Chains A and B, each alone.
Chain A
Amino acid sequence: MTAVMQIRDLHLRFPTGRSLADFVTGRPGREVKALNGVDLDLKRGETLGVVGESGCGKSTLARCIVRLHTPSEGSIEFEGQDIFGKASRDDRSYYRRVQMMFQDPYSSLNPRMTTGQILTEALKVHNMRPEADIPARVAELLDLVRLPQDAQGKLPHEFSGGQRQRIAIARALAVEPEVLIADELVSALDVSVQAQVVNLLLELQQELGLTILFVAHDLRLVRHVSNRVAVIYLGRIVEIGDSETLFSAPSHPYSQALLSAAPSLNPDNRGAVTRLEGELPSPLNMPKGCPFHIRCRHANDVCRKDVPALQPFEGRGEVACHHVKEINAYA
């Protein structure tokens, strides 16, 4: 599998306003460090899960990929071309080839446009079909996401959350993309509906050969959906690897804690829970060294000084931890 998308050393900092006191004392404005050097390859045809706790930068990463945010440093290349370069900005095809689906189905559809209008607009703007074939294509798209044809004339408020999410999927698919970014696609839906929507997405992936970046905080869902998984902590990837391996044997102490915090359906499986001490540091005030050292029980002086790089570990994927060998030797 070749990488369709290469993310290299991606940083994104949001400046916060300077207070009057800052201004008087000449202190520089503070920054929220949302992403701190993300390296990631998205391979053609795979589903890459991105997990992490709230505020870790999952959604920010997704929004960078569709250019809703412009990174402060680093690059994202799509088929070898920098997507923030001038050539790509002028090339309209990126808007067609990479699509995004949003978390909140209640705000991601224009409340004053019918389903038919929403789909027709996408088809027309990108000249996907000759004018005369558009109605047929709209009907086809509704079939694809298993919505009845009479949905065409209805406004978003007439649908349930799951149905709206399927309209959003249809809108994304209308322009025949190669890469889909799913940002918490189903987290706003009921569990029963989640399964329907996710399975629909997986079927469509098979059928259309899509590459999917699946951002979510529901670990079991990510395990079900993904081929590979990346664990993000404070804007950095701390571990990335094959989904089954990572979920059955996480290597990074943060991944271990994150996975053991997920509730299990098996009542016998209640044993050793790795609890995390302390709070998530503020992205306004990042710790020096390894971002996780404040809460890590294996941390020593090295961790407080140096940021660990993401390195291959025993064929399990890549892990960013100074002590990964020792930790996994006695774990």
Chain B
Amino acid sequence: MSDAVFTPSQPSRIRLALRKPGFVVGILIIGFSVMLALFPGIFAPYDPNAIDYLAVRQPPSWTHPFGTDLLGRDSLSRVIWAYQVNMQMAVLATVFALVIGVVVGALVGYYRGIADLIFGRVVDAVITFPFLVLVIAVVAVLGPGLINMYIAITLVGWVYYARLMRAEVIAQMGNDYAAAGIVMGYSDRRIIFRHLLPNAITPVIVYWMTDMALAILLGSSLGYLGLGAQPPQSEWGVLIAEGRNFISTAWWLSLMPGIAIVLTGLGFSLLGDGLADLLRPRG
């Protein structure tokens, strides 16, 4: 009665995922962005803070591919140095929300009861307000600056992760492997974190990728409004704000950091889509 285990020959999942051009482009964009963020000094042609009053607001040229700003600083170098801040935003503004949200969501999804009811009301209260408005309100209380901005985004953002995680844990509990864990007498902790969480976390990871793009957008919005990164720090929102008054005469000042935002956002989106395919368990 012993029969061979059925194993159709199949290319590995990673190979399959890499056949998707979108995923590859996403990896390239984010990979390159991470390089720029880690080693801006290697890629930037000039010191981003070197002021040159003899070369103010020059249009893009071979010596200054992105032109120069109102103090004669090289725009390309400033956009590259801004990667450091903006990529840091993508991570730091989301990762705490991710961890808190995953743990809270898994717990309320597993135990339900009163905690779940309270959680439901908290979610309702938070999603009633537009995200940006709520974050600005928190920053207004705490004061402007990057650290306070991370705190504000985390305070609001964990709710979205927790909501997703809770729904996914509840869905996973419909599977008999969760019941089997209970029948086997496994501890709640083991069932939640060893069994349910690895199966429930895929959509959260995918959402995280999108959320990093949103965090960059939000972070640069706050920078633009003067609530996030503070000049003279290079940050895309700050750079766009600096070019705002010269939009008709020195368009490159705002356009180039804008393109950087769009490109990074696109990279995270493509990466998220590819990961969604890669992480989906096979039936």
Contacts and interface: CB of A to CB of B under 8 A. Distances in A.
Interface in B160-218: 174-177, 179-180, 182-186, 190, 194-195, 198-199
A66 B2 CA distance: 31
B42 interface: no
Contacts of B184: 95, 99, 122, 125-126, 171, 175
A154 interface: yes
B19 interface: no
Contacts of A157: 281-283
A328 interface: no
Interface residues of B, number: 25
A102 interface: yes
B6 A108 contact: no
A99 B180 CA distance: 9
Range of interface residues on A (Cβ < 8 Å): 35 or more
Contacts of B180: 100, 102, 108-109, 168, 171
B117 to A, nearest CB: 14
B133 interface: no
Nearest to A101: B180
A104 to B, nearest CB: 6
A82 B6 CA distance: 44
B1 interface: yes
B248 interface: no
A196 interface: yes
A49 to B, nearest CB: 21
A147 B183 contact: no
A99 B183 contact: yes
B5 interface: yes
Contacts of B176: 102-104, 107-108
Nearest to B181: A110
Contacts of A200: 1
A171 B179 CA distance: 13
B7 interface: yes
Contacts of B174: 107
B281 A125 contact: no
B125 interface: no
A59 to B, nearest CB: 11
A112 B281 contact: yes
B5 A109 contact: no
B281 to A, nearest CB: 4
Nearest to A103: B176
Contact of B183 (A100, A110, A154): A100
B2 A163 contact: no
Interface string A154-165: 100111100100
A102 B4 CA distance: 23
Interface string A190-204: 000000100010000
Contacts of B283: 106, 157
Contacts of A95: 183-185
A148 B179 contact: no
A189 to B, nearest CB: 14
A151 interface: yes
A196 B1 contact: yes
Q: Point out which of A103, A108, A160 has the most chain B C-beta atoms below 10 A from its C-beta.
A: A108
Contact of A108 (B177, B199, B281): B177
Interface string A179-221: 0000000000000000010001000000000000000000000
A110 B177 contact: yes
Nearest to A115: B5
A67 B179 CA distance: 10
A154 B5 contact: yes
Contact of A158 (B6, B190, B198): B6
Given A92-B185, A96-B185, A110 B199 contact: yes
Contact of B198 (A68, A96, A112, A125): A112
Interface in A124-148: 125-126, 146-148
B2 A148 contact: yes
Interface string B1-33: 110111100000000000000000000000000
Interface of B: 1-2, 4-7, 174-177, 179-180, 182-186, 190, 194-195, 198-199, 281-283
Given A107-B174, A146-B1, A147-B2, 17 more contacts: A66-B183, A67-B182, A99-B184, A100-B180, A102-B176, A102-B179, A107-B175, A110-B177, A111-B199, A112-B199, A121-B194, A151-B5, A157-B283, A158-B5, A159-B6, A175-B184, A196-B1
